[in-house]
Amino acid sequence: MQLIETINEMSQVATAAVRRNKTIAFVPTMGFLHQGHLSLMAHARGLADILVASIFVNPTQFGPNEDLDRYPRALESDSQKCRDQGVDYLFFPQSQEMYPDGWQTTVNVSRVTANLCGKNRPVHFTGVATVVLKLFNIIKPTLTVFGEKDYQQLVTIRRMVKDLNLEVDVVGQPTVREPDGLAMSSRNVHLSTEERRSALSLSASLARARDMVAAGARATAPIIADLTSFITNHPHTNPDYVSLVDPETLEDLNVIETGALLALAVKVGQTRLIDNCILSVS
Ligand code: AMP
């Protein structure tokens, strides 16, 4: 595996690979890698000739009062994990090179970013779409793999790819969980023992909602009220949103007809966690 720090070198490697008719799979991450990230790499490894992963804690997707400064970092152990997954090139650009003085162009995906995380994190998805398009232009992937854990992000990237006619296949992968159900996240490291226990209220809510829908519940308001009080009955929890939305438009649903995305964002102590699942009506 080759470590690449500069845009120029990464771009040259990618251009040479494309000229040799090699396919490139790309997995973008912010590092502090866990099994969720590694599952994306393992899947991507089987889909293309060359596997590129990136580690970049992208400052433009963090709001002023968010956790950019305390986002965990571990480049050395991350490199080893990437090597073990068969990554060919690990790209870890510097912020100053990605956003040099004078940069001013952004990508704004409007409607699918309006609800859920976009409501309270207004700059977030513009930062995500912009950095992902930049990374696509540098790495020139044939395909890219994203986790369903960040469902709104996946929908946003698919929308950008379609709207801007980008020639990259976007592949989604299921959420990897701890044995007790907690969705793996780099941010889980911040949870105290008690907060870790309360964090289980997110995945437990998904199961609770599935049971309610299986028992015939269709109106979304009572389901949302039930889940919100279930979560807040756990200490240190503060829900940002509990939403049932159309899985494609991400707009709120009043009634579940064929299916819905249940999406949750909950602050547990100082740590903001998200989780989601698709609820299907059979
Ligand atoms: P991040 O480093 O949090 O920006 O995530 C990088 C990629 O890993 C994104 O496509 C995420 O959706 C994905 N990811 C993060 N956590 C998980 C997980 N628990 N299971 C599957 N994919 C994940």
Query: Hey, whose CA ends up nearest to atom 13 of ligand 1?
Result: 147
Q: Are strands 50-55 and 2-4 parallel, antiparallel or unpaired?
A: unpaired
- Please, which contacts does 213-216 make with residues 24 or more away whose CB atoms are closer than 8 Å? 213/256, 213/279, 213/281
Mutate to test the pocket of ligand 1, among 27, 38, 40 (most ligand atoms within 8 A of CB): 40
Sign of CA dihedral 113, 116, 119, 120: negative
Q: What is the pLDDT of residue 282?
A: 79
Domains (range + CATH), the chain: 2-173 (3.40.50.620), 186-280 (3.30.1300.10)
**CA distance linking residue 193 with residue 139, whole number of Å:** 40
Residue 222 CA to ligand 1 center (angstroms) comes to 30
Judge contact between 133 and 44, C-beta under 8 A: no
Q: Which two tokens stand for residue 144?
A: 């890219």
Query: Hey, whose CA ends up nearest to atom 18 of ligand 1?
Result: 36
* 42 CB within 6 A, ligand 1: no
Residue 234: active-site member = no
* 123 CB within 6 A, ligand 1: no
Catalytic residue among 37, 124, 190, 234: 37
pLDDT tens digit at each of 282 positions of the chain: 999 999 999 999 999 999 999 999 999 999 999 999 999 999 999 999 999 999 999 999 999 989 999 999 999 999 999 999 999 999 999 999 999 999 999 999 999 999 999 999 989 999 999 999 999 999 999 999 999 999 999 999 999 999 999 999 999 999 999 999 999 999 999 999 999 999 999 999 999 999 999 999 999 999 999 999 999 999 999 999 999 999 999 999 999 999 999 999 999 999 999 999 999 997
Query: Hey, whose CA ends up nearest to atom 22 of ligand 1?
Result: 147
* 176 CB within 6 A, ligand 1: yes
Q: What is the pLDDT of residue 169?
A: 98
Q: What is the pLDDT of residue 122?
A: 87
**CA distance linking residue 27 with residue 52, whole number of Å:** 6
**CA distance linking residue 95 with residue 17, whole number of Å:** 25
